[in-house]
Amino acid sequence: MESPKTLQAAIQFFSDAENCRQFMVAVRWLDGKVRCPYCDSEKVTYLAKAKLYRCYGDHPKQKFSLKIGTVFEDSPIPLEKWLPAVWLMVNCKNGISSYELHRALGVTQKSAWFMLHRIRLAIQSKSFVKLGGPDSAPIEVDEMPVRPHIETGGMAQLKRKFHPSPS
């Protein structure tokens, strides 16, 4: 599946729920076969009206969405907004502000901040690999500075002075 090259193409491509579904299936399951995140069964069907999958395994949570096990989980924001936000984040050389995302996607600034926070944490902790499990392909992020939190000055100096690391 070819990914969009421009912001306009990304927004148009990901505005269709079916394109989002196919993209997430391609990213999460490299062989293209959807599996239940709870029992790893391939006996699942797609419920188009509810935009959910149903597993026929014997466990309490038979219905699941594509967001389960990803940074998008537990969010009311649809994939049609999340995927362009991720696209913007990984394609902007100097990152993107919540105001810029708010204007580009038509979400509130608070939602944009929430989305960027989750995406940054996922990139920093390299948890996008979690999307497809241990056998998934890595997601490449080019030219975007993602820096870990480095303590300098103030409290960091006091910690080093009174609690030196054993070396």
Please tell me the least confidently modeled range out of 27-31, 55-59, 101-105, 162-166: 162-166
Tokens of 164: 């030196």
Structure confidence by residue, pLDDT tens digits, 63-83: 999 888 888 888 899 999 999
Using CA atoms, how far apart are residues 9 and 31, in angstroms rounded to an integer? 26
Is the full-model pTM beyond 0.85? no
The pairing of strands 63-64 and 52-55 is antiparallel
Q: Which of 100, 74, 103 is nearest to 89 (CA)?
A: 100
- Write out pLDDT tens, residues 69-119: 888 888 899 999 999 999 998 888 888 999 999 998 999 999 999 999 989
Which pair of tokens denotes residue 134?
């241990």
Q: CA 33, 38, 44 angle in degrees (round to 5)?
A: 40
